[in-house]
Amino acid sequence: MHHLKGLETDLKSGEWERKYPELSSQEEIDLGYRLVVVRDW
């Protein structure tokens, strides 16, 4: 969970926006996450 604490710190300080200005200006982002569920009936 230490990664989430680092993210929280970066968001509060503005560091995240300095690192990723192109992402913060977009209304939506497709990060490619997909969930595939396979059931063996």
pLDDT digit string (tens) for 12-36? 999 999 999 988 888 988 888 888 8
Domain that holds residue 9: 1-41
Per DSSP, the three-state class of 37 is: coil
pLDDT for residue 1: 67
Q: Name residues whose C-beta falls within 8 Å of residue 18's C-beta, 6 or more positions apart in sequence.
A: none
**What is the rounded distance in angstroms from the CA atom of residue 32 to the CA atom of residue 41?**
28
Rounded to two decimals, the pTM is: 0.55
Q: Where do the H-state alpha helices sit in 1-41?
A: 2-13, 15-19, 21-24
CA atoms within 13 A on the CB side of 35: 1
pLDDT for residue 41: 73
pLDDT for residue 11: 93
Number of domains comprising the chain: 1
